[in-house]
Amino acid sequence: MPVSVLIVDDSGFFRHRIEEMLKDDPRLSVVGTAVNGKEAVELAKRLKPDVVTMDVEMPQMNGIEAVRIIMREAPTNVLMLSSLTHEGARVTLQALEAGAADYLPKDIRAWMDKGSSVRSQLIDRLVALGRSRRHRRSTAFERSYPGHAEKGTTMVFRPEPEKPRSTTSATTSSPRARTTPAPRTAPSALRSRETAPPVASPAVSSGKNDPATTPASRVRFPDCKLVVIGASTGGPAALQKVLTALPANYPYPILLVQHMPKTFTQVFAERLNQQCNISVKEAEDGDRMRPGLALLAPGGLQMMIDPKQTDRVRILPGDERLTYKPSVDVTYASAAKTYSGKVLGVILTGMGADGCDGARLLKQAGSTMWAQNRDTCTIYGMPQAVVNANLADAVLALEDIGPLLANRGPR
């Protein structure tokens, strides 16, 4: 059965363009379109789509307000479409706080260019989010968003209040850094595909009862000097959930790799720094790693550890053959080479397999890997790749990862 899609945008051009991009893919079916947030809410409740594409700025009710209501009354995966500006990054993060699962940059030039990669990116995200939604209908997703406001949700971020807009009805329609040579860590082994095909999902039970999930009581914090966390789709909320559990005097430095454009990583780091007890900043070339500081890899670049000054990071363009910038593989590989068996790698929710090759190098060096479990992932891609390769020492529910990091420091 095709993944059902509801398209929400006040721009006729974008509604038509999205429909045009999706119409020839048998895995997807457009079940409706809406021109504002109010229509989106009504159609989401009536059509129950697997995934919604959502514009941000719309008349009558904007996308953020619509996402909040949808997640409360008709929970589903929402893909936000937003600009690459600083303001676009800010409002996109607000949408993720409201419960949206992922986002895609809305650059009209790229969307008009039929030779660009936008179509494949859009389709890959929609298919992955739709299939993930179907799995979670009978597991953690419905328990997280039970459809009634009074029962609460598991939304991680603390949303910022916004002024309500009028909700009159409308017509619906249907169907940075010096240039340095690339790292020598087997570039071909570090390549990963943005459009990696979905891996067949095994039949599992839900939540912590999933037999693949490691009980937190059985997990011991390893002897390490550095924590490295990688994430992609669903990562902003997952990272915030993990990092806010850490105390201000956290005894380890942390490196964060989240697939995001440059403008987004700057805003995201600032936001995490406001919300966490530890310090968080977008990494700059030469930054010193220290306990209680999390350095976030900047979008469009790679973050590695300086082999000459092992308490500092290098921010570099990296190998052009690598799909992801930043890449979890690159940072994992650098940590494995520099800190050998003294690294705790954590792989969180995300599409594709970025992090798997780097995790293999960490394990070969004697380090420890934790992976997020399926039922708490927005997309069980990156963690599943690590688990399927037998590289995970523990497979953990998201809500256990932060407390385990926080409570198992040196005695």
Q: What is the pLDDT of residue 188?
A: 38
Condensed to tens digits (0 to 9), the pLDDT of residues 51-88 reads 999 999 898 999 999 999 999 999 999 999 988 778 88
Q: What is the pLDDT of residue 134?
A: 56
Contact 246, 402 (CB under 8 A): yes
Mean pLDDT of the chain: 83
3-state secondary structure 100-147: CCEEEECCHHHHHCCCCCHHHHHHHHHHHHHHHHHHHCCCHHHHHCCC
Q: Which residue has the tokens 């380890």?
A: 252
Task: Say yes or no to pLDDT of 182 above 50.
Answer: no
Q: What pLDDT band is residue 184 in, cutting at 50, 70 and 90?
A: very low
Determine the Cα–Cα distance for residues 56 and 36; give it in Å rounded to an integer. Answer: 9
Determine the Cα–Cα distance for residues 328 and 301; give it in Å rounded to an integer. Answer: 11
Q: What pLDDT band is residue 333 in, cutting at 50, 70 and 90?
A: very high
User: Which residues belong to the active site?
Assistant: 232, 259, 354
Q: What pLDDT band is residue 154 in, cutting at 50, 70 and 90?
A: very low
Task: Please report, for residues 51, 105, 128, 208, 346, the alpha-carbon distance to residue 212 in angstroms, rounded to integers and kept in the order given.
Answer: 27, 35, 21, 9, 16
What domains sit in the chain, N to C, each tagged with a CATH number? 3-148 (3.40.50.2300), 187-407 (3.40.50.180)
Q: Which residue has the tokens 């004697």?
A: 366
Sign of CA dihedral 385, 391, 283, 95: positive
Average pLDDT of the residues in 13-17: 93
Q: What is the pLDDT of residue 145?
A: 37
How does DSSP classify residue 258?
A: E
